[in-house]
Amino acid sequence: MPVTLDTVRELDRRDPLAHFKARFALPEGVLYLDGNSLGAQPLAAREALATTRDQWRDELIKGWNQGWFDAPERLGNLLAPLIGAGPGEVIVTDNITLNLFKLLGYITESRGRQRPVILSEGGNFPTDGYIAQGLCRFAGLEHRVLPEGAELSDHLDDRVAAVVLSQVNYRTGRLRDMAATTELVHAHGAEIVWDLAHSAGALPVDLHGCGVRYAVGCTYKYLNGGPGAPAFLYVHCDHQAGGWQPLSGWHGHAAPFAFDDDYAPAPGITRFRTGTHSALIYAPLEASLELWQEVDMAALRAKSLALSELFLDCLADLLEAEGFADITPPPAERGSQVALTHREHGYAIVQALIARGVIGDYREPGLMRFGFTPLYLSHEDAWQAARHFREVVENREYLEARFKVRSEVT
């Protein structure tokens, strides 16, 4: 190892975020480098879930007037500062898939005839493209795909109504210039919907400062909301009265308990709600978002980059010698993950690491992803994970037959 254990322990002694690790429930002996897929459980989440469970038992339906019903807006206001949004601009509801459908429908409702094209990007997480395809199919619009690596400006014309892009690519971790890209799309008369799934909670996001009007994101990755935790949707306050969103459910009605026959959208961000949500899944997320109010995002970003650089530094000679491709972008263009490829043995290597308690994840074809979540990973954790990686590869542990057996979820 080119970096000593004493060196990384000294880095941990000087880490201003080190105290947060004790506030997460992490299994003994596990080095968790998969927070980019599912974040770890905050200790406070367990108590919050138990409190809501007991509220359901004791208060029954009265709980809807004791914090359950307004949770989407309340949690949206907690999340807003983490992504550079203002009060009343973020709502926590549904999932990214549904929220993206809402925003694309909302944007194209009044523009579909003059601008009938939705542009999504090749190589992005598939659901974004799938939703763009589905909406276009049913609304009579045209779906186009921006080829991976192509210049966006070459694919913008006066027929494009909306563009869907991820700020951080889920495969490579490449970070886009949000401000410049937003300005470019707006200059061509189109709207852009940013997918923040791999940036919210991973790095500072400044939606207002970048001129962003629309965004979606999830809360179960870096924001530690738990499996299936609700997603969020952002609409700038100046663009919240543009019409209907297509999933016009009763919770998005101006007066849901009037039970009118005809739909009238609620004012503000509430119009992007749909139907009844589960109070139980909001409780642990709220506990996590309250913890996040204490986090210095600049310190988080600095530690994120330090951890990923440490991991790569410890493996640099091995990767070259053993035929790995390091597709991780340079620090200034990186989210909070390391991306390595090995087409022949990538899956087996990840499984061998998991057997040692080092949890990363695998994506076809041949991609190994390692997420660096600064609130509960130390510099020593990154160093130890690299040590295990070296041993798995150098000892050829990944060649064992058991590591080639595919599970349903990779």
- Report the distance separating Cα 373 and Cα 381, nearest Å: 11
Active site (annotated) includes residue 222? no
Amino acid found at 128: D
Look-up: residue for tokens 């459908």? Answer: 101
- Catalytic pick among 21, 46, 125, 130: 125
Decide: 171 and 123 in contact? Cβ < 8 Å.
yes
Active site (annotated) includes residue 125? yes
- Catalytic pick among 15, 34, 94, 195: 195
Cα distances from 68 to residues 93, 275, 276, 282, in angstroms, run 13, 13, 10, 8
- Catalytic pick among 221, 334, 356, 363: 221
Cα dihedral across residues 32, 38, 44, 49: positive or negative: negative
- Phi then psi for 293, rounded to 5 degrees? -65, -20
What is the number of other CB atoms lying within 10 angstroms of the CB of residue 255? 10
Cα distances from 133 to residues 144, 163, 188, 246, 317, in angstroms, run 9, 12, 22, 15, 43
- Catalytic pick among 24, 220, 372, 389: 220
Active site (annotated) includes residue 221? yes
Active site (annotated) includes residue 369? yes
- Catalytic pick among 106, 303, 369, 370: 369
- Residues annotated in a binding site for pyridoxal 5'-phosphate: 96-97, 125-128, 195, 198, 220, 250, 276
Dihedral in degrees, nearest 10, Cα atoms 30, 79, 108, 138: 40
- Report the distance separating Cα 256 and Cα 263, nearest Å: 9
- Residues annotated in a binding site: 96-97, 125-128, 195, 198, 220, 250, 276
Cα distances from 271 to residues 111, 213, 330, 396, in angstroms, run 19, 16, 40, 55
Active site residues: 125, 195, 220-221, 369
